[in-house]
């Protein structure tokens, strides 16, 4: 079993993640309602955080293999 690294534990604020993936807050909430958003944490104060590892995994899952 590998131990989590500091990068694995890093969390991004919602605005940081939205800037990185290039979508609006409204688009994120629509994706979230459809179950298509990256995994995220909802803090007791209502703020949303996204783990770096979860965002990277979400990006990997979005990859499309094009037929030649």
**Who's near 44: CB < 8 A, 6+ residues apart?**
none
Closest listed residue to residue 38, CA positions, set 63, 65, 10, 57: 57
Does residue 40 contact residue 48 with C-beta atoms inside 8 Å? yes
- Per-residue confidence band for 65, with pLDDT thresholds at 50, 70 and 90: confident
pLDDT-derived band at 4 (thresholds 50, 70, 90) equals low
Reported as a single tens digit per residue, the pLDDT across 5-59 is 665 579 999 999 999 999 999 999 999 999 999 999 999 999 999 999 999 999 8
pLDDT at 5: 61
Burial letters 26-44, b for 16+ CB under 10 A, else e:
eebeeeeeeeebbebeeee
Domain positions in the chain are 12-61
Tell me which of 4 and 16 has the higher pLDDT.
Answer: 16
């Amino acid at each position: 079993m590998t131990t989590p690294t500091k990068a694995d534990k890093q969390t991004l604020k919602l605005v940081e993640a939205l800037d990185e993936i290039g979508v609006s807050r409204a688009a994120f909430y629509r994706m979230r309602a459809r179950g298509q958003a990256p995994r995220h944490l909802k803090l007791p104060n209502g703020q949303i955080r996204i783990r770096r590892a979860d965002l990277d995994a979400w990006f990997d899952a979005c990859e499309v293999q094009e037929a030649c």
